[in-house]
Structure 1
Amino acid sequence: MTPKALICLWFDGTAEEAARFYAATFPDSEVTAVHRAPTDFPGGKAGGVLTVQFTVCGLPCLGLNGGPIFPQTEAFSFQIATDDQAETDRYWTAITGNGGAESACGWCKDRWGMNWQITPRVLTDAMAAGGETAQRAFTAMMTMRKIDVAAIEAAVRGEDSRAQG
């Protein structure tokens, strides 16, 4: 059964490939349905994959193969909370190592143009604390591509992680 609300993501003919990658990469993720077009449509031909229902970390999504007219932008991203550096590294490497690209401050883009924020909980916790703790964590994050958990922890403690190593 289709959920009452879900995220609809536009793809250029690659919705099923992307959905299967997400299902294999993230926990509580799966492809739940693949629907084929009954007739030709602007993004494809009759019998081609029109939509794919899937979840990413439990979030219901629909991939729509609508063609090249609306590429993904940073205006939409998935934010994935991680518990440690190993989990951060695993997701970062899965996305960037499969034809994706690194960006700044924990952001990366997958090979289908979808944007991801791989965000350790230590960073979101520091930001939620506010004040000087948030300022130190934010300043440290602004120098990073993939988030360095140890450097964020050092910033939270008020230490300069560059002096440690």
Structure 2
Amino acid sequence: MPNVWCQGNAVEVGEFYSAVLPQTSATTTMTYPTEGLLDFQRDFAGQALVVDVSVSGYQIRLINAGNEFRPTPAISFILTMDPLMFDGGEDEARSRTKSIWEAFVDGGQVRMELGEYPFSKLYGWVEDRFGVNWQLMLSDPAGERRPPVIPQLLFTGPTAQAQQAIDLYTGLLADSSIGMVMPHQDAAAGIMFAEFNLSGQWFSAMDGGTDHDFTFSPGLSLEVSCADQEEIDRLWEVLSSVPEAEQCGWVEDRFGVSWQIVPENMGELMAHPGAFSRMLEMKKLIIAEL
């Protein structure tokens, strides 16, 4: 599940997406405790900690926190507008795409103008007012069906890394596979576009080269729910590459992507007295100690 770091405004962000995106709702699923918080967290006592957003059934988690991190375009959300979703077909899908675009552009930043491209009749890339990047795309009903939201990883820098990352992630997580891979004409430039599936969930990746002034950030991380401590240990061992970035189940891999490796019953564990305080002292989460 992708997690978006929000600057104390997760409830506002969830309400915005609920109002703008089709078939979308937002629910506060975890609150900060009133005791045991660190100094920089005390203003959040009793407030929302986690807001879960469902976009046509796709789950995005909003973390209510401080100003430490912001999302970057290195991870964006491809929002596929399928004409089959709407009673009015393509005309309604176009209309809804344009209305979402206008809402995201308001206070946001256009990265690629909304218009017709060789790969889509209607496409645009925009960073919304909260710093989250979206790629709006009118899909072809005759093509292979995809979920309404697909996270895309953009690898920047002088060395192509997308294929290495895809191989690592699909080899690490069960029931994963690699789909279409479209290389750049210059093979050294890596992948122009690729699709892969992690445990039943679609992702996309591409190599962006050096023409970017951003890379991955904890502002948008990927959360993996693990069945037991053995699975947490296995994933942690492979993904841990930056020890100084490890805290409360967060880990940064060799490509700079941030992951949260957590027990699948995290909500239940956090209900234990003092569990939140104990979690703050951990790097890798130890279920027996929560």
- Normalising by structure 2, what TM-score? 0.44
Structure 1 runs (4+) deviating above 6 angstroms are none
- Aligned residue pairs: how many? 138
Identify the residue that residue 25 of structure 1 maps to in structure 2: 172
2:204 and 2:193 mapped to 1: Cα distance? 7
SS at match of 2:197: strand
Amino acid across the alignment from 1:57: S
2:165 aligned partner, one-letter code: A
Structure 2 equivalent of residue 120 of structure 1: 263
**Aligned pair in 2 of structure 1 residues 51, 2: CA closer, same or farther (>3 Å)?**
farther
The answer to whether the Cα contact below 8 Å between 1:123 and 1:137 also exists between their aligned partners in 2 is no
Structure 1 pair 10/2, CA: closer, same or farther in 2 (3 Å)? farther
- One-letter amino acid of the counterpart of residue 8, structure 1: Q
**Distance in structure 1 (CA, Å) of the matches to 2:209 and 2:180:** 20
Decide which of 165, 183, 199 is 1:57's aligned counterpart. 199
Deviations 1:98-130 (A, max 9, x none): xx2231000001101111000013433223x4x
In the aligned structure 2, how far is the partner of 1:83 from the partner of 1:150?
Answer: 13
Residue 57 of structure 1 and its aligned partner are, at CA, apart by 2.4
Aligned AA (2:264): R
Tell me the distance in 1 between the aligned counterparts of 2:165 and 2:172: 10
Q: Which amino acid in the other structure matches residue 247 of structure 2?
A: A
> Counting strand residues as a fraction of each chain, which structure ranks higher?
2
Unaligned runs of 5+ in 1: 153-165
Partner residue of 2:64? none
Within 5 A, what are the aligned runs for 1:57-76?
57-68=199-210, 69=212, 70-76=214-220
The structure with the largest helix share of the pair is 1
Q: 1:56 to 1:145 in 2, by over 3 A?
A: same
2:227 and 2:182 map into 1 onto residues whose CA distance is 35
Corresponding residue to 1:143 among 273, 277, 281? 281
Q: Give the Cα–Cα distance (whole angstroms) in 1 for the partners of residues 263 and 184 of structure 2.
A: 40
Report sequence identity in percent.
Answer: 29
How far the C-alpha of 1:2 sits from its partner, in A, is 6.0
Q: Secondary structure at the match of 1:22?
A: helix
Unaligned runs of 5+ in 2: 1-143
